C-alpha cells in the first residue's frame, strides 16, 4: 500500500524503517481486515477492533465491563427530566499527527459537535463521505432522539433529547460515537480528499496508526500524550490471520500473543499448552428460536410452551457449542445487570409437552417449518446441526418440522418480514443495556413492519414495562422493571432461548492484564508483556 | 508470422467480452444483496436500503448497469469497493505483487523439480525411480491444498520449528513496500534479517501452491520425453556416438519441451485458483483472499474488477505462450 508506506515514511523516525520494532511489542492475530477506520459506518467487530485503538469517545465503557465512565468528557450533568445532557470536556487532550495533517489545537467542543452532525445532518459535508449508512447511529434511534447539540463554550457541549432515554450515555460509549478531529476534517475537505480522515485516521486514543497493509498487518505505536497516560506496551501489531487453526499455530509458536475466535476442536490442545491461558466470559449475546406469535399454531402460548419443553437444550449445548456455550433461560445474558436468576427454565419433558400440545388442540402433533441460518454466527456456531437436533426432539411429540434456509441476507430479511413459523436467530449486545435486548428484540415497536422483533411478539404488559424502563433513569427502578419483564417473557415464551455463547480467548502466559470485553472488543490499553 | 499473430490476438477480443459478461452476471446470479449482507442481524429499513442502492448504482436495470460498467472499464475505471470505498484498481495494485511473488516462486519450484524428475523418470522408465516419481506426483496432484497447507504448518512450523507459520515477513520487521515484492524490498532494506525472514515465509506457501503444477509438469515432461526418445532422430543421434547427455539434454529435451511450455501457460490459471486457498491458509495478502472475501460480502465492483483483471492476465499469458509456441515450432504458424 503506497499511501501507507508514504505515511509511515514520514511519521515514523527513520531508524524504525530499518530496525526491528522497540522492545515491548504486542502482536494480536486478528481475524480479518477492517473496512476502514471510521466506526460510524462500520458494523463488524473486526473494523471496530482496528479503529477503537485510535479513537476516544465522550464516555467510555470500563475496561472489561459495561459500566460507563468518563472519557473525553470528565463529567456531565443530566437535567431532572432526563432530556438535557451537559458534557464538560477534558482540557489539554492532544490529537495524533500524521503526514496529512498537523493539528494546531487540542480536542474541544467543535469535535464533539462534528461527531454528532456528521452522522445526523444530511447537509453536513461529511454525511456521505465513505458511506451515508450510519448504521449504529440510526439503529440506536439517534436521529429521532436528538433535538439539538450545541456548543456552549470551547469545553462544554449541551445535548437536548426529544424524550428521556436511559441508555443514552451507554450509547455514546459505543464505537460509532468515536470522536474525530473537526480541524483535520476541514483541512481534508479543503484539500479535496475528505475520505482521508477515515483511511489515515487521527484520534485522541492510546495508540496512533503507523501503517495499514490490507490483509497483512496493522501497526500502531503508543501515543505518549494520551490523556490517560502512555500505554504499557510500545508497539501494537495486528497480524491479520483469517484461519483459526493458523492463528492457533502462531500463538503456539509465540508469533502472536492474543488470538480471537479459536476453533472449538483446538481447545483441548490449548488447555494442555503450558504457555497459553484461555480466558473465558459469558458473552453479551443470545441465540434463540423465535416462534412467530402472529401465525398459527404459535399464536397459542400452550403450543410455544410445549415446544419449549420438547427440546433437549442441554444436549444441543453439549453437542454443538461444546465448551463454548451455556444454556440460556432468559433473553438477556447472565453478565448483564437486571438478569433475573430466580426464573426457572422450562424443563425438558416430552411427555408433558405432548399433553400440553393435545390440550391446545393438536393431539396428533402438527407440521411446521424450522428456519436455520446458513452461516455461523457468534451466538450460534451451527444452526443447521441445531435444527436437526431440534427436529429429532420434536418428532418425538409428533411435531414434524421441516428445516428451511436461505442465503443469509435474504434469511434475515424474510424472518423480519415474519414469513417463518419458527426460526433461529440471535443477537450480540451493543451497549450493555438490557433495553438493547428487551425493547429492541421483543418490544411492540420492533414487532411492526420489518423490525428486529422476529417473534412479532407484542404483549402489552411486557411492552409497558420495557418502555417505562427505557425512560426511567434510576437504575434500581429499571432493574426491577426488567426483572418483571423477564417473568412475563418466560410465561409467554415467544422464544426458545438456546444458549449464550462463551467468549474464549487464548493468550500467551507473558501477556499481563488483558481483559475480556463483554462486547467482544479487543483493546490493548493497560495490557503489558512480562519479561521485556 | 504476422498473420498468425493477428489471428491469435483477434481471438482475444471475444474472450475479453466473455469475461466481462461472466464477471458481471455470474455474481448477480448468486442470491444475496451487498446491502443486506452489510447490515447483518441489525437489518436495514426499506427507505435507507433504496437510498444505498441508488448510491451504489444498483437501482438501474441490469443491462444498463452492465452498459455503465463497460463504459467505465473502457475508460480504465473499475469502480470502488462497496465495503471499503477504495478504488478497485488501487486495491488490486496493492495486493497483486504478493500473489505474483508467490506464483513465480511456486512455478519456479515446480519447474526446477518437475522437469528433471520427468526427464529422469522417462530415461529410467519402469525403474523404481520412475514409479516413485509417478506415484508421488499423482499424490501431489490429488492433494487438497487446504489439508496439505495445514499439515505442513503443523509439522514443519509448529513441531519442527523450521519455518514461520504464516504471513509474508516477521511482524517485527518494518519494510516499506516500494515495489510490493517483499523479497526485493527487503533485500534492498538495510536489515539483512528482513530478507531471510521474507524468504523463510515463502517456503511453505511455495511448496503448497507449487505442488499441483509440479506434479503436472513432471508427468507431462515424462510422457513428452518418452515420445521423443522413441523417434528416429534420437536413434540416429545415438548411432552417431553422441554422448548420452547431449542426446537427452539437447536433442530430446528441446522437442519434448513444446507441450511442456503449453502446460506451463495453462498452469497460470491453476496458480490463481490455488492462490485463493493458499493465501487464506498462510494469511498471504494477495488477490485470492481479496476475491474470496468479496464473494462473501457480495462486493460486486471488487469481484467484477478483480475477475476481469485476473482473466486478462491469464489470457495474456496464454497468448504469449501461444505466440512462443508458434515461434518454437514453425509447423504451427504455417498450419492454418
| Average confidence (pLDDT) over B41-59 | 79
| pLDDT at residue B317, rounded to an integer | 83
| pLDDT at residue A400, rounded to an integer | 96
What does R_g of chain B's alpha carbons equal in angstroms?
Answer: 24
Q: How close, in Å, is residue A217 to chain B by CA atoms?
A: 8
| pLDDT at residue B179, rounded to an integer | 87
Interchain proximity B48–A242, CB inside 8 Å: no
| Average confidence (pLDDT) over B186-193 | 84
- Residues of B in Cβ contact (< 8 Å) with A195: 85
| pLDDT at residue A532, rounded to an integer | 56
| Average confidence (pLDDT) over A387-402 | 96
- Residues of A in Cβ contact (< 8 Å) with B165: 246, 249-250, 253, 255
- Residues of A in Cβ contact (< 8 Å) with B46: 450
| pLDDT at residue A7, rounded to an integer | 40
Q: How confident is the model at residue A17 (pLDDT cuts 50, 70, 90)?
A: very low
| pLDDT at residue A16, rounded to an integer | 33
**Chain B residue with minimum CA distance to A25:** B172
Interface test with A, best of B149, B156, B171, B192 (most A CBs within 10 A): B171
Interchain proximity B42–A43, CB inside 8 Å: yes
- Residues of A in Cβ contact (< 8 Å) with B80: none
Of A202, A211, A240, A219, the C-alpha closest to A22 is A219
pLDDT above 70: residue B41: no
Q: Choose between A282 and A13: higher pLDDT.
A: A282
| pLDDT at residue B320, rounded to an integer | 84
| pLDDT at residue B137, rounded to an integer | 87
| Average confidence (pLDDT) over B173-180 | 83
CA distance B72 to A184: 32
Three-state DSSP state, B26: helix
pLDDT above 80: residue A280: yes
Share of chain A above pLDDT 90, in %: 74
Q: How confident is the model at residue A462 (pLDDT cuts 50, 70, 90)?
A: very high
Which are the contacts of A316, defined by CB distance < 8 A and separation ≥ 6? A386, A389, A390, A498, A499
CA distance B132 to A11: 56
Interchain proximity A21–B174, CB inside 8 Å: yes
pLDDT above 90: residue A397: yes
Helix (H) or strand (E) holding A250: helix A244-253
pLDDT above 80: residue A21: no
- Residues of A in Cβ contact (< 8 Å) with B35: 409
Share of chain B above pLDDT 90, in %: 24
Average pLDDT, chain B: 86
pLDDT above 60: residue A244: yes
pLDDT above 90: residue B171: no
Cis peptide leading into A502, omega within 30 of 0? no
pLDDT above 60: residue A509: yes
Residues 39-98 in B contacting A (C-alpha not used; CB under 8 Å)? 39-46, 48, 51-52, 55, 83-86, 91, 94-95, 98
Q: How close, in Å, is residue A164 to chain B by CA atoms?
A: 23
Listed in sequence order, the DSSP H helices in A405-474 are 408-416, 435-442, 460-471
**Chain A residue with minimum CA distance to B284:** A216
Interchain proximity A408–B37, CB inside 8 Å: yes
Q: Are A503 and A28 in contact (CB under 8 A)?
A: no
Q: pLDDT tens digit string along A470-496?
A: 988 888 999 999 999 999 999 999 999
Q: Choose between A43 and B22: higher pLDDT.
A: B22
- Residues of B in Cβ contact (< 8 Å) with A16: 174
Interchain proximity B165–A249, CB inside 8 Å: yes
| pLDDT at residue A277, rounded to an integer | 95
- Residues of B in Cβ contact (< 8 Å) with A132: 51-52, 55
Q: How close, in Å, is residue B154 to chain A by CA atoms?
A: 7
| Average confidence (pLDDT) over B222-250 | 85
* Cα distances (angstroms) measured from residue B296 to each of A49, A193, A274, A407, B302: 20, 29, 37, 11, 11
pLDDT above 90: residue A503: no
| pLDDT at residue A20, rounded to an integer | 45
pLDDT above 90: residue A153: yes
Q: pLDDT tens digit string along B96-150?
A: 999 999 999 999 999 999 999 999 899 888 889 899 988 988 888 888 888 999 9
Q: How confident is the model at residue B333 (pLDDT cuts 50, 70, 90)?
A: low
Q: Vertex A444, ends A442 and A449: CA angle to 5°?
A: 100
Q: Vertex A335, ends A329 and A75: CA angle to 5°?
A: 140
String of DSSP letters for A1-59: -HHHHHHHHHHS-HHHHHSPPPS-EEEE--SS--S-S-GGG---HHHHHHHHTT---SE
pLDDT above 50: residue A8: no
Q: Is B193 on the interface with A (CB under 8 A)?
A: yes
Listed in sequence order, the DSSP H helices in B170-299 are 182-188, 192-229, 232-239, 244-246, 253-281, 287-296
Q: What share of chain B is helix, strand, coil (3-state, %, to 5)?
A: 80, 0, 20
Q: How close, in Å, is residue B150 to chain A by CA atoms?
A: 8
Of A43, A416, A451, the CB nearest to B38: A43
| pLDDT at residue B40, rounded to an integer | 65
Of A133, A255, A428, the CB nearest to B52: A133
Q: Is B33 on the interface with A (CB under 8 A)?
A: yes
Average pLDDT, chain A: 90
Q: How confident is the model at residue B280 (pLDDT cuts 50, 70, 90)?
A: confident
Residue in the structure block whose three cell numbers are 502512555: A230
| pLDDT at residue A3, rounded to an integer | 44
Q: How confident is the model at residue A2 (pLDDT cuts 50, 70, 90)?
A: very low
Amino acid at each position: 500500500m503506497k499511501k501507507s508506506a508514504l505515511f509511515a515514511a514520514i511519521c515514523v523516525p527513520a531508524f524504525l524503517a530499518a530496525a526491528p520494532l522497540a522492545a515491548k511489542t504486542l502482536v494480536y492475530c486478528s481475524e480479518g481486515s477492517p473496512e476502514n477506520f471510521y466506526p460510524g459506518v462500520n458494523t463488524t467487530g473486526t473494523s471496530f477492533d482496528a479503529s477503537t485503538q485510535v479513537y476516544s469517545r465522550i464516555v467510555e465503557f470500563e475496561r472489561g465491563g459495561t459500566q460507563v465512565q468518563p472519557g473525553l468528557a470528565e463529567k456531565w450533568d443530566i437535567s431532572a427530566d432526563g432530556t438535557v445532557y451537559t458534557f464538560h470536556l477534558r482540557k489539554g487532550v492532544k490529537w495524533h499527527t500524521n503526514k496529512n495533517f498537523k493539528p494546531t489545537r487540542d480536542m474541544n467542543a467543535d469535535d464533539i459537535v462534528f461527531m454528532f452532525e456528521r452522522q445526523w445532518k444530511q447537509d453536513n459535508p461529511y454525511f456521505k463521505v465513505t458511506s451515508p449508512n450510519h448504521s449504529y447511529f440510526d439503529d440506536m434511534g439517534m436521529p429521532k432522539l436528538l433535538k439539538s447539540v450545541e456548543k456552549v463554550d470551547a469545553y462544554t457541549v449541551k445535548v437536548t433529547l426529544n424524550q428521556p432515554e436511559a441508555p443514552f450515555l451507554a450509547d455514546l460509549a459505543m464505537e460509532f460515537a468515536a470522536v474525530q478531529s473537526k480541524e483535520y476534517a476541514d483541512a481534508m475537505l479543503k484539500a479535496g480528499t475528505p475520505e482521508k480522515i477515515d483511511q489515515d485516521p487521527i484520534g485522541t486514543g492510546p495508540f496512533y496508526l503507523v501503517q495499514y497493509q490490507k490483509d497483512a498487518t496493522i501497526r500502531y505505536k503508543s501515543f505518549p500524550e494520551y490523556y490517560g497516560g502512555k500505554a504499557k506496551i510500545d508497539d501494537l501489531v495486528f497480524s491479520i490471520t483469517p484461519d483459526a487453526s493458523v492463528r492457533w499455530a502462531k500463538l503456539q509458536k509465540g508469533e502472536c500473543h492474543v488470538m480471537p475466535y479459536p476453533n472449538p476442536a483446538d481447545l483441548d490442545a490449548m488447555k494442555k499448552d503450558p504457555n497459553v491461558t484461555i480466558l473465558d466470559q459469558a458473552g453479551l449475546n443470545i441465540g434463540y428460536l423465535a416462534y412467530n406469535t402472529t401465525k398459527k399454531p404459535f399464536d397459542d402460548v400452550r403450543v410455544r410452551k410445549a415446544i419449549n419443553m420438547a427440546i433437549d437444550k442441554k444436549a444441543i449445548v453439549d453437542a454443538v457449542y461444546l465448551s463454548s456455550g451455556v444454556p440460556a433461560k432468559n433473553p438477556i445474558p447472565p453478565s448483564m445487570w437486571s438478569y433475573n436468576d430466580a426464573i426457572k427454565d422450562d424443563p425438558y419433558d416430552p411427555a408433558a409437552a405432548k399433553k400440553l400440545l393435545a390440550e391446545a388442540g393438536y393431539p396428533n402433533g402438527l407440521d411446521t417449518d424450522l428456519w436455520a441460518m446458513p452461516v455461523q454466527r457468534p451466538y450460534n456456531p451451527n444452526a443447521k446441526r441445531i435444527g436437526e437436533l431440534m427436529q429429532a426432539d420434536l418428532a418425538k411429540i409428533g411435531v414434524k418440522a421441516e428445516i428451511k434456509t436461505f442465503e443469509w441476507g435474504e434469511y434475515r430479511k424474510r424472518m423480519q418480514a415474519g414469513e417463518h413459523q419458527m426460526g433461529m436467530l440471535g443477537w450480540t449486545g451493543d451497549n450493555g443495556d438490557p433495553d438493547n435486548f428487551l425493547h429492541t428484540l421483543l418490544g411492540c415497536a420492533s414487532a411492526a413492519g420489518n423490525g428486529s422483533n422476529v417473534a412479532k411478539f407484542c404483549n402489552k404488559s411486557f411492552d409497558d414495562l420495557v418502555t417505562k424502563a427505557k425512560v426511567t433513569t434510576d437504575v434500581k427502578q429499571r432493574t426491577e422493571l426488567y426483572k418483571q419483564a423477564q417473568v412475563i417473557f418466560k410465561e409467554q415464551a415467544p422464544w426458545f432461548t438456546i444458549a449464550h455463547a462463551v467468549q474464549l480467548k487464548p493468550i500467551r502466559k507473558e501477556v499481563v492484564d488483558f481483559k475480556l470485553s463483554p462486547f467482544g472488543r479487543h483493546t490493548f490499553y493497560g495490557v503489558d508483556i512480562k519479561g521485556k | 508470422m504476422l498473420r498468425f499473430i493477428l489471428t491469435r490476438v483477434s481471438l482475444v477480443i471475444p474472450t475479453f467480452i466473455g469475461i466481462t459478461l461472466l464477471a458481471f452476471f455470474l455474481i448477480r446470479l448468486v442470491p444475496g444483496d451487498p446491502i443486506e449482507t452489510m447490515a447483518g442481524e441489525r437489518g436495514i429499513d426499506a427507505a435507507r436500503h433504496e437510498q444505498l442502492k441508488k448510491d451504489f448504482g444498483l437501482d438501474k436495470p441490469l443491462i444498463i448497469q452492465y452498459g455503465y460498467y463497460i463504459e467505465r472499464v473502457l475508460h480504465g475505471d473499475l469502480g470502488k469497493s462497496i465495503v471499503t470505498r477504495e478504488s478497485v484498481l488501487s486495491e488490486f495494485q496493492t495486493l497483486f505483487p504478493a500473489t505474483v511473488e508467490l506464483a513465480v516462486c511456486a512455478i519456479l519450484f515446480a519447474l526446477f523439480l518437475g522437469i528433471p524428475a520427468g526427464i529422469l523418470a522417462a530415461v529410467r522408465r519402469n525403474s523404481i525411480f520412475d514409479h516413485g516419481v509417478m506415484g508421488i506426483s499423482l499424490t501431489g496432484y490429488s492433494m487438497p491444498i487446504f489439508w496439505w497447507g495445514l499439515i505442513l504448518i503443523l509439522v514443519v512450523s509448529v513441531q519442527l520449528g523450521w519455518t514461520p507459520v504464516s504471513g509474508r515477513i516477521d511482524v517485527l520487521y518494518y519494510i516499506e513496500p516500494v515495489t510490493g515484492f517483499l523479497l526485493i524490498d527487503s533485500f534492498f532494506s538495510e536489515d539483512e534479517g528482513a530478507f531471510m525472514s521474507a524468504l523463510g515465509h515463502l517456503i511453505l506457501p511455495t511448496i503448497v501452491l507449487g505442488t499441483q503444477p509440479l506434479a503436472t509438469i513432471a508427468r507431462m515432461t515424462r510422457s513428452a520425453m518418452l515420445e521423443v526418445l522413441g523417434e528416429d532422430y534420437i536413434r540416429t543421434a545415438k548411432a552417431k556416438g553422441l554422448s548420452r547427455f547431449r542426446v537427452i539434454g539437447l536433442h530430446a529435451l528441446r522437442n519434448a519441451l513444446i507441450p511442456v511450455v503449453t502446460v506451463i501457460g495453462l498452469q497460470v490459471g491453476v496458480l490463481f485458483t490455488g492462490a485463493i486457498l493458499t493465501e487464506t491458509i498462510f494469511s498471504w495478502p494477495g488477490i485470492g483472499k481479496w476475491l474470496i472475501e468479496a464473494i462473501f460480502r457480495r462486493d460486486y465492483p471488487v469481484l467484477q474488477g478483480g475477475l476481469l483483471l485476473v482473466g486478462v492476465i491469464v489470457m495474456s499469458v496464454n497468448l504469449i505462450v501461444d505466440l512462443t509456441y508458434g515461434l518454437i515450432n514453425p509447423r504451427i504458424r504455417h498450419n492454418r
